Amino acid sequence: MSYEKRGKGPRAVAAMLDGVVKPAFASHGFWEAAVLTNWAAIVGPALAAHSCPEKFGRDGSLTVRVAGGHALEMQHLEPVVLDRIATYFGYRAVNRLILRQGPLPKREKRRSATPAPLDEEQKRLLGDTVAPIDRSDLKAALESLGRAALGRRR
């Protein structure tokens, strides 16, 4: 799908985003903004929880800030991280990692959406559905799941 402007009229936001985002990332050395925005998807949530990319060097190096004691682990996992980056991009975008120990920037915690309360009909339906289940732990888990699923439909 092409996001280029065709004739007169409204223009897709995606067509303008590159012009806005690329200069901001380029000032930090991120010619591939996906490294920053998709870091957790690239390296996995365990490594992403203790690291963040800082700068993409022109020589193919990637500077990564690593929290305290996790730098040694990241150093040992460097070949794995490089392979994951190459797999993500489809080519060897990074040749080496430069690790910098230090505190990570504060991350905003995601708020989970609270489901809407169920009406009497939904409560009855949910109760009838889980009534035949004998195991109390399984029944409680399924009730919780049912409340969340039915509450989000509203």
Sequence ranges of the chain with CATH classification 3.30.300: 13-101
- pTM for the whole thing? 0.52
Contact residues for 50 (Cβ-Cβ < 8 A; gap 6+): 66, 67, 70, 73, 74, 104
* Interval 37-91: pLDDT, tens: 889 999 999 999 999 998 888 788 999 999 988 989 999 999 999 999 888 878 8
d(Cα 129, Cα 132) in Å, to the nearest integer?
A: 7
pLDDT at residue 49 in the model:
92
- What topology is assigned to 13-101 in CATH? GMP Synthetase; Chain A, domain 3 (3.30.300)
The Cα angle at residue 89 between residues 83 and 95, in degrees rounded to 5: 50
Q: Which uninterrupted H or E stretch holds 154? A: none
pLDDT at residue 76 in the model:
95
* Interval 12-33: pLDDT, tens: 665 565 556 555 555 554 446 7
